[in-house]
Structures are given as structure tokens and as C-alpha cells.
């Protein structure tokens, strides 16, 4: 039996990216004897105490300590250097968008989420390099949905089929549109995926479509009332990185959260608009909407 040394493990860890498990080391070094397996745990514990690696929340899994620091030259930054992004409903008149920004568009089923994202592409395709990552439709339906927007041929943006791990392919400098980010029933992972996309960006902006739960039905004073939720599946974790959080449902568009208003004297948070759909499935009859309390007809 070959004796396992700490020097061998340290060299292996240096060449490792991300986290690793003791089983990964067993396979890499051909460790089969129980004595060496136990000795490996002693070595890993020693390296952990020395601050070279750290344990993760998963048993037997570690990661390298990352002590690299990236200085932020904030004093030479230009606060006027915003990204000119146009929105449906003219949201850009109320909000500033800076480089390295996440914009969330959360919508109930058939509430206009894809229409909002496609119209954003139309409004910005002349001024930005746009990558659309699609998991929502096939090419035939996509062509039908884009047809009312008079997209030139060839289209001045890129379209890719993608279902997960978006951060692996996001260009850090482009305007990225994701229709939509769906992790099936693992809603708790949505926030982590958004965070990974945010970390990938440099000067770019990512507009991410998310699915909202269906409205809640309740009876108030004997009347059937539908309550549309503001946040997508995943709840508050989906809003953590967002500089603008847009919610669509019940033919209402709501600015749930705006990090930097264009005018400090005007607070756009919770502003709402009502809308209808035209024959192509796009927004029409857009009006400011002011919610009112439910009135008793008695």
C-alpha cells in the first residue's frame, strides 16, 4: 500500500477548481485502503485548520480558500455612465440602469411575460448586442410571436436554446434576455442562478423572465377577489440582485422594486399600469392604474 502524503494532496487541491469531495480524491488517486481513507480525512482536517481549504455544508465536501481580492476604484467611477435600455410601458423614464445589472420580469402564465421580453428586444436591438436564451417556445411559435414586431431579416440579435446553467454562456458585456429561467420545482435554486449570472456580468445587463404562482382566490364581504402575487416562484431570493423588479398579472404591470429612480423626487416603487392585449399578443390600452379599496355595495 502506497503511503498517502500531505504534499500530494496539496498539489491535487491546487489544480482543483471549485469544490471537491473526498470521493473525488479517492478516484483521482486510486485510494481504496481504509487506512489511507482515514489518513486523507486527517490531512484535509489539517489543511482546513491551516486556512487552505474550508468545509462546505455537504458532508465530506471542501472548497479552496479564495483570498484573491479585486479592488473597486469607486472614486474614479462615473455615476452618469448608465446603460440606455428601453422598456415597454416607458419604464426607462422612471429608472436608471447601470452596467452589471439584473432586471427581473415576473409574470403569471399568459400575463404577457414573453411579450414584454420580446418587445424589449425590439426596442433595444439597434443599440445593443442582444442574446436571447429561449426555453419557452419552438422556432415556429417564436416566428409567429415576433412577426407583429417587424423584425428585419436577418434578425439583429442572437437566439439560443437554453434551459439551465445560464451563467456559463452569458456574455458579460451583452444585453442578455432569458425567456425564461425555470428550475422546475427546485425554486430555492432560482436565487443562486440569478446570483451566478450577476457575478458573470461586467458592463452588460441581464433581463430575466420568471414564472409567478397563479393568483390567490379569496372572498371578501361575499365577493370573489383575485390577488396576484408580486414575486416569482422562489420568493424574496429572486429579488436580491434585481435593480428593477417588474411583475405582470391580472392585466396589470407593477414596478415592485426600483433601486435607482431617475428622479430622486419621484418614487416609482409600487407604481402600476393596466393593459390589454392586441391581436398579436402585445400590450395595448396602457394606462396608469391606481388600486382602490374594495367597496361594500350594500
187 vs 272, residue with greater confidence? 272
End-to-end Cα spacing for the chain: 88
pLDDT of 24 > 50? The answer is: yes
Whole-number pLDDT of residue 216: 81
Using CA atoms, how far residue 175 sits from 31, 223, 265, in Å, is: 47, 44, 29
CA angle, 124 then 126 then 131, to 5°: 60
Task: Say whether pTM exceeds 0.85.
Answer: no
The confidence band for 201, taking pLDDT boundaries of 50, 70 and 90, is very high
- Residue 270, Cα to own-chain centre: how many angstroms? 21
Which pLDDT band holds residue 295 (cuts at 50, 70, 90)?
Answer: very low
Report percent pLDDT > 90 for the chain. 64
pLDDT in tens, 123-152: 999 999 999 999 988 999 999 999 999 999
Closest CA to 149 of 108, 116, 181, 174: 116
Bigger pLDDT: 255 vs 215: 255
d(CA 43, CA 57) in angstroms, rounded, equals 19
Per-residue pLDDT, averaged over 259-272, amounts to 96
- pLDDT the model gives residue 81: 92
Residue-averaged pLDDT of the chain: 91
Q: 157-188 in b/e burial notation, b at 16+ Cβ within 10 A?
A: bebeebeeebbeebebebbbbbbbbbeeeebe
Which of 104-118, 217-231, 256-270 has the least mean pLDDT?
A: 217-231
Reported confidence tier of residue 1, pLDDT bands at 50, 70, 90:
low
Alpha helices in the chain (DSSP H): 6-14, 22-29, 34-49, 113-124, 139-146, 190-200
C-alpha–C-alpha distance, residues 269 and 105, integer Å: 15
Is residue 208 over pLDDT 90? yes
The pLDDT value given to residue 228: 82
Q: Average of pLDDT values for 174-202?
A: 89
Does 226 score more than 80 pLDDT? no
Q: Which residue has the cell 421580453?
A: 117
Q: What is the pLDDT of residues 30-76, one digit of tens each?
A: 888 888 889 899 999 999 999 899 988 888 899 988 888 889 898 99
pLDDT of residue 298: 37
Amino acid at each position: 500500500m502506497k503511503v498517502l502524503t500531505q504534499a500530494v494532496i496539496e498539489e491535487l487541491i491546487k489544480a482543483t477548481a471549485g469544490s471537491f469531495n473526498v470521493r473525488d480524491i479517492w478516484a483521482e488517486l486510486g485510494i481504496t485502503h481504509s487506512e489511507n481513507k482515514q489518513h486523507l480525512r486527517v490531512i484535509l482536517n489539517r489543511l482546513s485548520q491551516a486556512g487552505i481549504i474550508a468545509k462546505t455544508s455537504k458532508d465530506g465536501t471542501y472548497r479552496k480558500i479564495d483570498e484573491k481580492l479585486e479592488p473597486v476604484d469607486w472614486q474614479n467611477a462615473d455615476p452618469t455612465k448608465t446603460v440606455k435600455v428601453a422598456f415597454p410601458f416607458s419604464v426607462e423614464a422612471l429608472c436608471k440602469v447601470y452596467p452589471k445589472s439584473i432586471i427581473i420580469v415576473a409574470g403569471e402564465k399568459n400575463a404577457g411575460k414573453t411579450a414584454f421580453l420580446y418587445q424589449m428586444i425590439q426596442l433595444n436591438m439597434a443599440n445593443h448586442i442582444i442574446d436571447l436564451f429561449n426555453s419557452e417556445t419552438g422556432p415556429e411559435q417564436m416566428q409567429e410571436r415576433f412577426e407583429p414586431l417587424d423584425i428585419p431579416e436577418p434578425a439583429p440579435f442572437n437566439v439560443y436554446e437554453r434551459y439551465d446553467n445560464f451563467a456559463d454562456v452569458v456574455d458579460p458585456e451583452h444585453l442578455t434576455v432569458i425567456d425564461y429561467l425555470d428550475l422546475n420545482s427546485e425554486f430555492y435554486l432560482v436565487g443562486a442562478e440569478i446570483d451566478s449570472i450577476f457575478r458573470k456580468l461586467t458592463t452588460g445587463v441581464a433581463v430575466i423572465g420568471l414564472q409567478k404562482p397563479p393568483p390567490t382566490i379569496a372572498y371578501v364581504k361575499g365577493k370573489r377577489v383575485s390577488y396576484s402575487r408580486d414575486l416569482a416562484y422562489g420568493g424574496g431570493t429572486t429579488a436580491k440582485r434585481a435593480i428593477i423588479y417588474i411583475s405582470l398579472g391580472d392585466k396589470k404591470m407593477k414596478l415592485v422594486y426600483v433601486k435607482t429612480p431617475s428622479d430622486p423626487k419621484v418614487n416609482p416603487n409600487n407604481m402600476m399600469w393596466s393593459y390589454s392585449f392586441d391581436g398579436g399578443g402585445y400590450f395595448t390600452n396602457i394606462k396608469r392604474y391606481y388600486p382602490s379599496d374594495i367597496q361594500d355595495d350594500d
